[in-house]
């Protein structure tokens, strides 16, 4: 069966520090991968998605970036964090198909001080 791992679960970082969040998927090949951010009590905002190795599409201009160095690995990064980067970050995967849902990791709660 397929599983998705996302870490760390919580992270507290100072303003201006770098960021690296990692997400890996097991049990499937060539998945579509997604990074979302969720503000407290709000809906999900799509940040990046990838349909293949090295292919990244950005939805929202920001100081975050994403990379997909391997088929089932998706990384969210920042060189310098802003206070506004605080939030709950969720990674998700899906396969091609009209009725295929996205499956989410457990998320990372990021607090910027």
Partner 1 sequence: AQKITQTQPGMFVQEKEAVTLDCTYDTSDQSYGLFWYKQPSSGEMIFLIYQGSYDEQNATEGRYSLNFQKARKSANLVISASQLGDSAMYFCAMRASLNAGGTSYGKLTFGQGTILTVHP
**Which residues contribute to the site for partner 1 (CB under 8 A)?**
32, 34, 41-44, 46, 49, 51, 57, 59, 88, 90, 92, 94, 96-99, 101-107, 109
- What is the H or E stretch that residue 4 is in? strand 3-7
Output 9 or 15, the one with its CB closest to partner 1.
9
* Residue 2 or 18 with smaller CB distance to partner 1: 2
Torsion angle of the four alpha carbons 33, 39, 45, 47, in this order, in degrees rounded to the nearest 10: -50
Taking the complex as a whole, how short is the minimal distance between the CB of residue 74 and partner 1, in angstroms?
Answer: 14
Q: How far apart (Å, rounded) are the C-alpha atoms in residues 54 and 43?
A: 28
Q: Compute φ and ψ for 56, nearest 5 degrees.
A: -130, 130
Beta-ladder partners of 90: 36
CB of 106 to partner 1, least distance (A): 5
Q: How far is the CB of 19 from partner 1 (least distance, A)?
A: 18
């Amino acid at each position: 069966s397929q599983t998705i791992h996302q870490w760390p679960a919580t992270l507290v970082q100072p303003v201006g520090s770098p960021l690296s969040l990692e997400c890996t998927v097991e049990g499937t090949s060539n998945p579509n991968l997604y990074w979302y951010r969720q503000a407290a009590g709000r809906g999900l905002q799509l940040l990046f998605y990838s349909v293949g190795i090295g292919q990244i599409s950005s939805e929202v201009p920001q100081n975050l970036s994403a990379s997909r160095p391997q088929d089932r690995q998706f990384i969210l990064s920042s060189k310098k964090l802003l206070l506004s980067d605080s939030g709950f970050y969720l990674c998700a995967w899906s396969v091609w198909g009209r009725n295929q849902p996205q499956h989410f990791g457990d998320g990372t709660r990021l607090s910027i001080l």
